[in-house]
Homo-oligomer: A and B are copies of this chain.
Amino acid sequence: MGKERLVVIGGDAAGMSAASKVRREDPERQIIVFERGPHTSYSACGLPYYIAGMIKDSDDLVARTPEKFKEKYNIDARVGHEVLHIDPDAGKVRVVERESGREFDEGYDQLLIATGGVPICPDLPGSGAQAIFGLSTLQSGIRVRQFVDQVSPRRAVVVGGGYIGLEMAEALVRRGLEVSLVERAEQVMATLDPDMGSLVSDALREVGVTLYLEESLTGFEVADGRVKAVVTDKRTLPADMVILGMGVQPNSTLAENAGLKLGEKKAIQVDSRMRTSKAGIWAAGDCVESYHLLMQRPVHIALGTVANKQGTVAGINLAGGDATFPGVIGTAVSKICKYEVARTGLREADLKVMNMPYVEAVIKSRTRAGYYPGAGRITVKLMAHKEDGRLLGGQIVGLEGAAKRIDVLATAITAGLTAQHLVDLDLSYAPPFSPVWDPVQTAARQILNKL
């Protein structure tokens, strides 16, 4: 490979994982990364905790600075550089150095697009006002924290009850704000079935968040350029600040303009080796599609784990190796104050769409032996194929120690295990960790009674 030049667009999880992997495999490769923001390799997932004040310094969220990439990895990571245009035929990108406004072309032998995602921001009356925040980059998180620190807002409205919305609701409660949350579905956490989502709604109310369910955002009231209220189809909610938690969409405009094929939700189409539809151009992270192993179709899932894995796979292949990213099953976990929430695989809603015959069980148990101090409630929902008992999905809501059990279900589902297999598994037990039958096994036993 030698002196070939790799250009990477985007300096966060996927881009820098790939760049680092290429460097490790190929000391000679020229690697240039263009990042339009001021930071590289930071944990966007940590932003709610930074805004909550649980993490003091935004630098703590940065895994590696551009300087470190240059000095330690010989990767030319140029922050404040935005790629304006990709020219696949000429094999070059048009770049602007944002501070100076200077534009220049950079040629590449291989290109990796890792432009990430952007928060969905509906085009509604007032949506351009100040104090309406979406969360994506480290910079966007710093802006929110500065606003809370300096302006001392009293009332916040969070629009959208997904992971970011809920984690931000908690963060702002911790900062002493009155927090309301608007969600158009009947429950928060639409990635769970409504019966499990209702447990999360209860948890949010318990920590002091006022919920407005089955209400849709229609716009914002603005005064002096700053948001004053959130307007729904049912009411007007006064707000000193607004957090948009309506999801993330792939940042795929550059790719689209370069003629690359887009797919699900306008995410960039890639194969399992992270190649796009044009030779020499690769893509990874929140801007691409992922294959859902159970739905057997591409989906768009924006997650740090997936971005890291896809970046690593792209890096191995870019360095001449052979790696594949097999896909996802939609595993996710979140902590809302003392409550833990996790999910993997298919929901009942998915199974119905797929016309798959299934049985489900919902059980209540404890995170530890009932007599052991700190044993907390845990609810486990499990779905299995009605004919062969194959595990298809699981959801967990509970107190401390509950949620990471989802990984057992994710592993079992991926391996094609049945409810009987799960019951038979030799899982660990001691009173500080679990009842004798781990709650996921109790759920599986319940499934067996229904098969």
Contact surface of A with B, Cβ cutoff 8 Å? 13, 43, 45-46, 49, 54-55, 60-61, 163, 293, 303-306, 308-309, 325-335, 340, 342, 344, 369, 371-373, 401, 403-408, 410-412, 414-417, 421, 423-434, 436-438
Contacts and interface: CB of A to CB of B under 8 A. Distances in A.
A428 B45 contact: no
Contacts of A306: 426
Contact of A406 (B308, B369, B428, B431): B428
A25 B303 CA distance: 47
Contact of A371 (B61, B344, B430, B436): B61
Contacts of A371: 43, 46, 49, 55, 60-61
Given A55-B372, A405-B404, A430-B334, A425 B414 contact: yes
A303 B429 contact: yes
B404 A425 contact: no
A305 B427 contact: yes
Contacts of A372: 46, 49, 54-55
A115 to B, nearest CB: 19
Contacts of A414: 421, 425-426
Contact of A429 (B304, B426, B433, B436): B304
A335 B432 CA distance: 7
Contacts of A293: 426
Contact of A411 (B43, B331, B411, B436): B411
19 contacts: A45-B430, A46-B369, A46-B372, A49-B372, A293-B426, A305-B426, A305-B429, A308-B436, A308-B437, A309-B424, A331-B428, A333-B433, A335-B433, A340-B433, A401-B404, A403-B428, A411-B417, A412-B415, A415-B417
